[in-house]
Amino acid sequence: MSNVNIVSARAPTKYGGSTSTWAAPPPSWMSRTWVITHSTLKTRASAKNCRVTYSTTTSSHGKVKLSQTSKTEAKGKLHTSTTTSVGARNADAVGEFEAKGKGFMKNSSRWEVLGWGDITNDNGEVVESWMIVYHAPSTGAKEGVDVMTSRKEGMGSETAQRCINALKRLPDGANKLKNSVVMDLRVIDIVGPWKE
């Protein structure tokens, strides 16, 4: 069950984030297109219309397997990459994944979900889903976070602020990441129409 109208985030396991009582999002909930609205990753500094589509492919030895297609527009061109992510441990419980790319994105990397949930209106209808993803450092790239929304037009301003505040409330053990959020978090431009 998703976290309805509650916006919170745990620290990455690297910084001692507990997963013992934390429920990761079900793969069926993640399986859709997400728009990245905020990011600390330098690779997104000059990009716009960043989105990622997850789809569940198979399960291997009890571990979730996701197919991931990322699309980014930069300097008038569309850049597409495809990766396959397999649960690093029991991803149903902790939301940690090992990603293996294809082509120029063939390097391995690790990512994990720090927070997720649904925002509903007064009638109980879901109007927006949100997710915060942590990217561990990898070859040639520093660690960072993405804030994502299910809305093609971008994240609601209140939801965005609540996600940012949740990251700023991470425990002191994650001060390095918290400082990055304060110093490096950028708003990703969303400008239609999207290139496909």
User: Where in the chain are the domains?
Assistant: 13-187
**Cα dihedral across residues 25, 31, 128, 46: positive or negative:** positive
**Bond prior to 171 in cis (omega within 30° of 0):** no
8 A C-beta contact, residue 27 and residue 56: yes
What number does CATH give the domain 13-187?
2.40.128.20
For 99, the token pair is 């990603």
Distance of alpha carbon 156 from alpha carbon 141, whole angstroms: 29
Q: Does the pLDDT value for residue 104 go beyond 50?
A: no
Distance of alpha carbon 33 from alpha carbon 36, whole angstroms: 10
Q: Does the pLDDT value for residue 50 go beyond 80?
A: yes
pLDDT digits (tens, 9 = 90+) for 1-36: 356 788 999 999 888 876 667 788 888 899 999 999
Determine the pLDDT at residue 60: 56
As beta bridge partners, residue 66 has 56, 85
> How far are the Cα atoms of 36, 87, 160 from residue 186, in angstroms, in the given order?
11, 28, 12
> How far are the Cα atoms of 40, 44, 132 from residue 142, in angstroms, in the given order?
9, 12, 17
Determine the pLDDT at residue 91: 47
pLDDT digits (tens, 9 = 90+) for 51-101: 999 998 766 566 778 888 999 998 889 988 888 887 765 544 567 787 876
For 148, the token pair is 């994502």
Identity of the amino acid at 51? R
8 A C-beta contact, residue 48 and residue 73: yes
Determine the pLDDT at residue 3: 62
